[in-house]
Every structure is written in structure tokens, then in C-alpha cells.
């Protein structure tokens, strides 16, 4: 993708489509005013006649503007000028991209950048805009037959700026936005694949492919015999009922010397039936999304490699299926984890924590600065936060604050939840060091407390993405979250000036 910044006035830009904005009460943006002045008050006339709507996110394509070099105009409603900020900027750009995604264009010019969005850096304007573009054109049709919808290929995007000083940061934002969008696409694709395709072996195979593309990326795959030698009995208890072999996937990005690595651990249950504690059949098809933690950490490391950041990042993915069979783990079984702690498995559908605890123990060998696990872990989290924010639970205020900051900057929002001894006590067991569930109340927190038992003396955070990783209903599909949040978090650890 070729990103070009332009100091030309909107009317002078030669392009297939020019995007401009109009605020409420016919308060014209900078580019809209220029077009209005040279085109016999076309914007004002359209506003008075009711042919354009200035409500935020509304769009209208015009082909008849005079004295301009663009083939067509896309007029976007910006809403109230006084409340136009970062979130509104992102929203109108998403609306604009949705409006043009099916039009055959070789290039377009976005002049919404000229309109003020308080407290929004040029870098983030570029990044949010490009993320909106790639989000608008995403489609998953790999498994469909017949004629497939092909999006027009955009060769060049022109971005109107008010000063030459803005150019470098805008283009850097666009470049990073494209990298993060690639990571999100990978996460979406992996999440949307059915479980008969996206198996643990498939995830391992795809990870190896990425290592051939990026020189600073290496991959190591551990099979079940290796997991047994490592005494990952908690992890192996989950895969006991499946013929599909489990895999532990390691991915390492080395972008810096003499620097501690950051570690991301992603839950990779490629299908979760609940095991012997089997789930209800309604919407069980969506349990293919139980590997979205794995998908997002893989997508994140690819985004970091694509940006070529001067950081070290490792990704650990414990991948397996959770199925019922004659060999499946039974409720009441007790296993010894890699850490040596014993676990009474009261519910085999609380399996994510059983694979994560061994993966977190394994990750200690990398002596990370921070370790963050990402998992579609609990339905209780969806009850608590809905589908809007990812939950953060951490033993480090510093780390949780950094994640909150990354969520705000990336517009991939999250929220800090409590942890404490009072919740941890719910995991007490009469027969083992702990139970794998803590009862009905505070389920997302007790799940985090369980993981916390394996992360002593580490700066660790747990992200529960059960409410944000996918959507249900007519628009069912993976969201790619929280790739933007995690990418921003790692970006913040680098020396890149944004």
C-alpha cells in the first residue's frame, strides 16, 4: 500500500474519490469549505435541500461537483464540532471506509485529517484510519464455493495534511496500522476456521510458516511425549479424551539485544465440548472460538515482526481439544501440574486454566519482564463486562496500568478487576492443593486467582477475552481483539517515538 501525504487544497487533488466532512448546522470542515467555495456552494445547497445528513457517520456520494479534480466526493457527517475527538474521528473514518469498500477505486484521498480532533496525535489519526480501512474490507470466504466477492485493489491512499511536519508521523501511523491490521486478520482467520480444519497441528503448521517469512522470528513445537517429560500433567489432562495430539507452540521474536523478553501466553483450545462436564448443545458451534487467545497472541507477534520493533517477544500457545471419551478426565480426578502443585478437577469444562497453568510455569524459563496470558476463560466475565471491554486481573498495578493505557490508546478497551485472598479461598480443596473452580460467584476472578497460584514472583496479568473475542448472531465472527491492545502494549515497551 502506498501512503502519500498532500498539502494541496482538497479541490486540487486528482483522485478517484475525495473524502470530506461536514459538522452539524452546516459547519463545514476545512476541506468541505474549500470544495464549497470553488463549486458554487454545492455543500450548502445539498445541506439546505436535505440531500446530505450531518449526523455522525452518515455518508453521501456526489458525482456532480464542479471545478474540482476528484472524480467523486464522499461527504461524511461529523456530528457536533464541540464533541469531535479521537473516538469520533475513528467512527467517521470507519463509516467512510464502509461507504467506499465496494466501489471500484484505484486510489482515494482522505481529507478528514484536516478537521481538528482534540488530544489526537497525527500518528494515531493515521493508524486508526488505516485500521478502519482494513476492517471494512475483511471477509472470510476461504471455505465458500462459487463466485467470491473480490474487493477493489487500492494502490494509493492520499492523506490531506495541514503542515509538512505532520507527514512523518501520519505515515508511520499508517504503516503501523497496516501491520496491526495484518495481525488482526490472522487472528480473525484462525478464529473463524472450523475445528475440523484449525486443529492444534494446524496451528503449529501455520506458526512454522510465519517463521519462514520473518527473519527475526523462530518457532519450536513441543509434542505430547515432550510435554509428558516436562510433567505438564494438568495440560495433558485436558487433551486426554481427544485423538488429536496436543501441541505446545513457542514463537520467539528477537528484535533487541540485552533486553528482557515479554511473554504472551494464549489459550488454544481449538474446540471445547466441556469434556465429561459437557456443554449444552445450543451455540456449541461457537466453541471453535475457544482458541481466540492463541489466535490473538500469534496475530500480535506477527504485527510486532511486521513493524520490526526493537523489542524481544515470546509467545506460548498450549493447544489441544477438550472432548469426552472413555479416556477423558473425570470430575473429581486429581492431577499434578508442572509446578508440582496438585489440582482437583471438579469441572472438566474449566479446562482453559488447566492448560494455561502449565504454560505459565513453562514460561518462567524465559525470565520475562512481563507475562500476560490471554484467554476466552469464563462466561462470568461476559456477565460482568458484556462485550465491550476485556477484563484485566493482575498481581502488578504497574502492569495492569500499562495495559489499561494501551487499551485506551488503541481503542481496544479493557477494565481492571479485583483479585484477593478472599476470592482465592474459594478454590480450597479437601483432597488437593486446590480445586479448578471456586463456585458460582466471582467466577472470572476465581479463575484468575487459580492462575495466580502459578505466577508467584512474576509480573503477570490475565486478560479474559470471553466477551470481546467474537460476536454471535447474524454477524457471527472473530473480532481479532485484543490484537490492537497487545500490539500497543508491546509498542509502548519499545523505543519508538510515536
Q: Which of 111-120, 143-152, 270-279, 416-425 has the lowest mean pLDDT?
A: 143-152
Q: Residue 5 pLDDT > 80, yes or no?
A: yes
CB 65 within 8 A of CB 42: yes
Overall number of domains in the chain: 2
CATH number at residue 154: 3.40.220.10
- Do 85 and 137 lie in a common domain? yes
- The single residue listed with the C-alpha cell 487433551 is 239
Q: What percent of the chain has pLDDT over 70?
A: 100
Condensed to tens digits (0 to 9), the pLDDT of residues 420-458 reads 999 999 999 999 999 999 999 999 999 999 999 999 999
| Grid cell at residue 170 | 501520519
Does an H or E element contain 458, and which? none
Q: What does the pLDDT average to over 243-257?
A: 97
* CA atoms of 149 and 169, how far apart (whole Å): 34
Which residue range is the domain that position 42 belongs to?
2-165
Q: What does the pLDDT average to over 178-185?
A: 98
- Do 213 and 305 lie in a common domain? yes
Q: Residue 149 pLDDT > 90, yes or no?
A: no
In the set 353, 409, 453, 481, the catalytic residue is 353
In a domain, 140, yes or no: yes
In the set 81, 156, 254, 279, the catalytic residue is 279
- Do 156 and 187 lie in a common domain? no
Nearest CA among 437, 480, 486 for reference residue 463: 486
- Do 201 and 73 lie in a common domain? no
CB 437 within 8 A of CB 380: no
| Grid cell at residue 228 | 509428558
Give the model's pLDDT for residue 151: 78
Q: Residue 254 pLDDT > 90, yes or no?
A: yes
Length of the chain: 498
| Grid cell at residue 414 | 479493557
- Do 108 and 142 lie in a common domain? yes
- Do 53 and 138 lie in a common domain? yes
CATH number at residue 335: 3.40.630.10
Concatenated DSSP letters of 39-82? TTTHHHHHHHHT-S--STT-EEEES--SS-SSS-EEEEEEE-GG
- Do 107 and 245 lie in a common domain? no
Q: Residue 380 pLDDT > 80, yes or no?
A: yes
Arithmetic mean of pLDDT over the chain: 96
Condensed to tens digits (0 to 9), the pLDDT of residues 462-498 reads 999 999 999 999 999 999 999 999 999 999 999 898 8
Q: Which of 142, 165, 188 is the last residue of a domain?
A: 165
Angle between helices 167-192 and 122-137 (to 10 degrees): 30
Q: What does the pLDDT average to over 351-374?
A: 97
Q: Active-site residue 279, yes or no? A: yes
Cβ atoms within 10 Å of 22's Cβ, excluding its own: 29
* CA atoms of 462 and 264, how far apart (whole Å): 10
In a domain, 174, yes or no: no
- Do 250 and 142 lie in a common domain? no
In a domain, 497, yes or no: no
**What band does 347 get if pLDDT is binned at 50, 70 and 90?**
very high
Name beta bridge partners: 109.
Answer: 18, 158
Q: Residue 218 pLDDT > 90, yes or no?
A: yes
- Do 292 and 187 lie in a common domain? yes
- Do 35 and 88 lie in a common domain? yes
Cβ atoms within 10 Å of 80's Cβ, excluding its own: 14
- Do 318 and 399 lie in a common domain? yes
CB 173 within 8 A of CB 130: yes
- Do 148 and 199 lie in a common domain? no
Q: Which of 134, 165, 196 is the last residue of a domain?
A: 165
| Grid cell at residue 201 | 497441528
Q: Active-site residue 205, yes or no? A: no
Angle between helices 292-307 and 167-192 (to 10 degrees): 150
Q: What does the pLDDT average to over 293-302?
A: 98
* CA atoms of 472 and 483, how far apart (whole Å): 19
Condensed to tens digits (0 to 9), the pLDDT of residues 106-138 reads 999 999 999 878 778 999 999 999 999 999 999
Q: Is the peptide bond before 482 cis (omega within 30 degrees of 0)?
A: yes
- pTM value? 0.96
In a domain, 498, yes or no: no
Amino acid at each position: 500500500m502506498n501512503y502519500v501525504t498532500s498539502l494541496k487544497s482538497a479541490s486540487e487533488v486528482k483522485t478517484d474519490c475525495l473524502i470530506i466532512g461536514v459538522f452539524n448546522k452546516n459547519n463545514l470542515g476545512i476541506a468541505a469549505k474549500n470544495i464549497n467555495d470553488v463549486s458554487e456552494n454545492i455543500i450548502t445547497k445539498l445541506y439546505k435541500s436535505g440531500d446530505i445528513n450531518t449526523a455522525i457517520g452518515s455518508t453521501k456520494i456526489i458525482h456532480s461537483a464542479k471545478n474540482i479534480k476528484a472524480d467523486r466526493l464522499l461527504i461524511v457527517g461529523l456530528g457536533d464540532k464541540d464533541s469531535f475527538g479521537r473516538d469520533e474521528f475513528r467512527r467517521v473514518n470507519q463509516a467512510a471506509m464502509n461507504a467506499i469498500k465496494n466501489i471500484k477505486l484505484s486510489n482515494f484521498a482522505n481529507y478528514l485529517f484536516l478537521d481538528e480532533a482534540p488530544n489526537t496525535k497525527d500518528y494515531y489519526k493515521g493508524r486508526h484510519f488505516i485500521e478502519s480501512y482494513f476492517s471494512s474490507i475483511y471477509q472470510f470466504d476461504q471455505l465458500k464455493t462459487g463466485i467470491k466477492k473480490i474487493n477493489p485493489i487500492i494502490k494509493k491512499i492520499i492523506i490531506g495534511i495541514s503542515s509538512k511536519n505532520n507527514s512523518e508521523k501520519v505515515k508511520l501511523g499508517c504503516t503501523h496500522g497496516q501491520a496491526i491490521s495484518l495481525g488482526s486478520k490472522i487472528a480473525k482467520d484462525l478464529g473463524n476456521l472450523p475445528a475440523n480444519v484449525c486443529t492444534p497441528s494446524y496451528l503449529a503448521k501455520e506458526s512454522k510458516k510465519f517463521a519462514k517469512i520473518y527473519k527475526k522470528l523462530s518457532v519450536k513445537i513441543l509434542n505430547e511425549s515432550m510435554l509428558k517429560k516436562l510433567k505438564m500433567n494438568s495440560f495433558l489432562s485436558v487433551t486426554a479424551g481427544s485423538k488429536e495430539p496436543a501441541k505446545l507452540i513457542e514463537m520467539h521474536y528477537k528484535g533487541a539485544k540485552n533486553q528482557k523478553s515479554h511473554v504472551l501466553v494464549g489459550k488454544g483450545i481449538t474446540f471445547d465440548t466441556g469434556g465429561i462436564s459437557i456443554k449444552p448443545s445450543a451455540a456449541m458451534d461457537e466453541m471453535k472460538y475457544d482458541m481466540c487467545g492463541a489466535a490473538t497472541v500469534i496475530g500480535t507477534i506477527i504485527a510486532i515482526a511486521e513493524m520490526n520493533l526493537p523489542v524481544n517477544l515470546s509467545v506460548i500457545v498450549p493447544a489441544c481439544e477438550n472432548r469426552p471419551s472413555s479416556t477423558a478426565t473425570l470430575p473429581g480426578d486429581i492431577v499434578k501440574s508442572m509446578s508440582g502443585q496438585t489440582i482437583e478437577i471438579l469441572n472438566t469444562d474449566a479446562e482453559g486454566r488447566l492448560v494455561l497453568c502449565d504454560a505459565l510455569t513453562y514460561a518462567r524459563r524465559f525470565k520475562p519482564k512481563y507475562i500476560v496470558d490471554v484467554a476466552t476463560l469464563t462466561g462470568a466475565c461476559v456477565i460482568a463486562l458484556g462485550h465491550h471491554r476485556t477484563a484485566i486481573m493482575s498481581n502488578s498495578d504497574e502492569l495492569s496500568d500499562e495495559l489499561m493505557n494501551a487499551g485506551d490508546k488503541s481503542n481496544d478497551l479493557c477494565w481492571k478487576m479485583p483479585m484477593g485472598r478472599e476470592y482465592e479461598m474459594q478454590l480450597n480443596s479437601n483432597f488437593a492443593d486446590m480445586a479448578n473452580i471456586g463456585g458460582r460467584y466471582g467466577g472470572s476472578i476465581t479463575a484468575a486467582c487459580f492462575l495466580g497460584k502459578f505466577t508467584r514472583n512474576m509480573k503477570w496479568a490475565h486478560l479474559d477475552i470471553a466477551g470481546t473475542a467474537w460476536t454471535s448472531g447474524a454477524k457471527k465472527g472473530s473480532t481479532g481483539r485484543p490484537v490492537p491492545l497487545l500490539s500497543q502494549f508491546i509498542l509502548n515497551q519499545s523505543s519508538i517515538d510515536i
